[in-house]
Amino acid sequence: YLLLGLVPLTWWLVERTRWGLELRAVGENPQGADVTGIAVNLRRRQALLWCGLFAGLGGAHLAVGAVGSFNDNMTAGRGYLVIAAVIFGAWRLRGTIVGVALFGLADALRLALPAVGVQINSQLLIVAPYLLALLAMVLVLRRTRQPMALGTPFVRGIV
pLDDT digits (tens, 9 = 90+) for 18-38: 999 999 999 999 999 999 999
Q: Give every residue of the chain whose pLDDT is below 50, as ranges.
A: none
Is residue 105 within 8 A of residue 81, CB to CB? The reply is: no
State the pLDDT at residue 31.
94
Distance (Å, rounded) from C-alpha 126 to C-alpha 116?
A: 17
Q: Find out whether 86 and 14 touch, Cβ atoms under 8 Å.
A: no
158: burial class by Cβ within 10 Å (0-12, 13-18, 19+)? exposed
Q: Is 89 in a helix, a strand, or coil?
A: coil
**Domain boundaries defined on the chain:** 1-75, 77-146
